[in-house]
Structure 1
């Protein structure tokens, strides 16, 4: 006779009591561990769910039970079998699961949400998903030896592509970067430590660097963002971060003319390859320096999730969010995109300039925007230059004296028309021509 199935409440009590008991026995102090895997604020998800919720593969526990993603479980199992055969030659996959289970309390502390899975189930989820992710990341490895994991099996060939060009491969790439679909990095390192090789840390670092390099739209910006985020995260508690993120939406917009408006008064745009910290407006020459950004079919997901991550981990910095707001304000139409593309600032791999304009115009304004001195100085410089230009002054004069007095001119013209109409009627009745002398 099978034992009765436990209710959710009973399972929850068992998990809590087990976690407290293990913490007491092992004397683990994980209270100081910062949360690193967050939940996307509802204000962001409601605007474009597909940009934040995995569409093909669930890697972390947040979306593990979504039925529409179960099709990928077969391919995850293929990766696990490959890890067992190629890498875990002298141990069983179960040993890897048990090793992960020993870090259960630490793993759970990385997640903002409570994970309702028991210890064994959660360990299996991470072991299987980490195996799949490892095989996927192998496409960013520089290794070519015969026995390497880089040899993709025939079952996985349509999903994992060493050239990184196939549609399915790029779809997985978009899911891997999503904030709620993450695996703790130290856990991925632990999995790699089980591989039968001495340089597992170096190999993992190479793959991750290649992954970030391929994915980053601004090639020099991610290191700076991570450094700024890390310094602030040490000073602010994760709980207060999340309370702040769950921001009534703000409707603040950066006051700055569009690219086309600035271009018409003589502003020139020049690319800089030094990241977000090099954004600068030269008031003397009228040159606006902006970092080079690469845009493709993955860029919107990357940009949105970077903004969400920054809001969670470093809400008092927000330099990347400020940059997206700036681009949102100066790009209104495809003409704005064309000017930046021809200047070498936007490298467009989308179908058209119109798609790029749509991408930037769709970026959310519901994340808190803070002051960023570097960007604010450039914005102020552009506004000052624009307001002092003679063309801008002429536009102001036209609006103030011509357009502003238009109602009076309309009234005056209407009265003239009435007077002329009355005169014509009178002349037709009294034959005005007899009073007019003809030479």
Structure 2
């Protein structure tokens, strides 16, 4: 509700000691030619209440999970100690989130050069190919969180995505086919950093953008340019999967972006459904008291590499259904890019609009529970589970301890494995057997010494028996 009063009335109120502060009401002054009106809006008006009530109804629609997760800034892990180390690009910015920032200006010319090379291979003119992105910019904008694109016009956003998309496809094609990237005057260290930057959550491009560009390559007789380019992307994902490369990569159907494709590859998803079916059996609880590989060894649990090419497949079995326990994990390679890739995959799973089962988060949480110090890494390496390309085992332990902090894994994934290990771990007899075997059979020399002692003991017993029998015969 509003009151309009004349300037004379306003001054008369002031002379009487009345003010807007006394009435506790905001005063809005509007001037029109020679007449001055003062608008007073009373607090608690009906319209204000109705707007607040309306917000209650609108909130549900705003927080509902979407069918496609938006490309956004890292949210849940933004306060993490190593956020900048793992989430900010080192060489190149892709998309609107880091666009125009000074540290990435040097690579803008490289992106234009790579984009021009890609356009030349498509058989289309730059006007034709850009026109396709421009015509679909409304749809492409929807793949981003509104906050990161609101300052860009459709034209500016279309040009940015067009250049970044073309340059990304050209770069991936070069790397996947091991062509000489040096022809573009890009050094090997820069190539490695760019590859790492392509899997940062804040640096993602909609896969739909890449799909538009690939689908509109001009078809020529006996030419499979589009098919070869899609194969390059799959090879590139395989190269960075940290698992064995001789595995069929996931189909790019319904892919959100490159990071999403990498996640599907690691979890063995089919590219359509987001599920990790392995090890989801429920139990009485997920509590466990074992802490690391060393404690598992003391309880007689051995490590073994799994033939699986999927992070979700971790198994625990018992040899002869008794002893020893065997924990099988898939083989994984750890290098400089492992930390950033896993950290961004975890950040992706934490996105509020991404409905998923936290497969990567659960895997890292489980692995972090096994690794406390370099000794644990050594045992994993000796078992053929972990391949260390970082340098020292201490660095590997540090990486998983850093990215494994403050995680909330799925309560069901690996639950059966944890319960089975705990049951085995709780049996004191297993620990006793393990200690005996470790003490007396840990090396050939201890085995020989044990057998010799056993043989001497046997001879002593036999001699004693004969002595007793001889005595009674007399």
TM-score with structure 1 length normalisation?
0.68
Distance 1:204 1:88 in 2: 11
- Counterpart of 2:400 in structure 1 is 360
Distance 1:358 1:89 in 2: 49
**Which of the residues 268, 274, 299 maps onto 1:265?**
299
Distance 1:190 1:315, change over 3 A: closer
- Counterpart of 2:186 in structure 1 is 158
Is 2:199 the partner of 1:177? yes
Distance 2:342 2:307 in 1: 18
Is 2:111 the partner of 1:83? no
C-alpha displacement of 1:393: 8.0
C-alpha displacement of 1:390: 4.1
CA contact (8 A) 1:278 1:291 kept: yes
Segments of 5+ residues of structure 1 without an aligned counterpart are 1-30, 144-149, 160-165, 234-251, 395-439
Distance 2:102 2:288 in 1: 42
- DSSP-derived class of the 1:282 partner: strand
Is 2:81 the partner of 1:47? yes
- Counterpart of 1:345 in structure 2 is 385
Is 2:148 the partner of 1:108? no
Q: Residue deviations 1:414-439, cap 9 Å, x none? A: xxxxxxxxxxxxxxxxxxxxxxxxxx
Root-mean-square deviation (CA, aligned residues, Å) is: 2.9
Q: How does 1:240-251 map to 2 (within 5 A)?
A: none
Distance 1:124 1:33, change over 3 A: farther
Q: Determine which structure has the larger strand proportion and give its number.
A: 2
Distance 1:90 1:153, change over 3 A: farther
- Counterpart of 2:410 in structure 1 is 370
Q: How does 1:2-401 map to 2 (within 5 A)?
A: 34-44=68-78, 46-48=80-82, 49-84=84-119, 86-89=120-123, 91=125, 93-114=126-147, 115=149, 116-142=151-177, 152=181, 154=183, 156-159=184-187, 166-197=188-219, 198-219=223-244, 222-223=264-265, 225=267, 227=269, 231=273, 255-274=289-308, 275-283=310-318, 284=322, 285-312=324-351, 314-373=354-413, 375-390=414-429
C-alpha displacement of 1:74: 1.3
C-alpha displacement of 1:224: 6.5
CA contact (8 A) 2:243 2:266 kept: no
C-alpha displacement of 1:55: 1.7
Q: Residue deviations 1:27-73, cap 9 Å, x none? A: xxxx9862342331243453212211112100111111212111111
Distance 1:142 1:153 in 2: 14
Distance 1:54 1:215 in 2: 17
CA contact (8 A) 2:334 2:387 kept: yes
Distance 2:115 2:317 in 1: 56
Segments of 5+ residues of structure 2 without an aligned counterpart are 1-64, 248-262, 276-285, 434-474
CA contact (8 A) 1:322 1:372 kept: no
- DSSP-derived class of the 1:276 partner: coil
CA contact (8 A) 1:89 1:196 kept: yes
RCO comparison, higher one (Cα < 8 Å, 6+): 1
Q: Residue deviations 1:398-427, cap 9 Å, x none? A: xxxxxxxxxxxxxxxxxxxxxxxxxxxxxx
The number of residue pairs the alignment matches comes to: 330
C-alpha displacement of 1:75: 0.8
Distance 1:80 1:232 in 2: 33
Distance 1:207 1:185 in 2: 14
CA contact (8 A) 1:98 1:123 kept: no
Distance 1:318 1:262, change over 3 A: same
TM-score with structure 2 length normalisation?
0.63
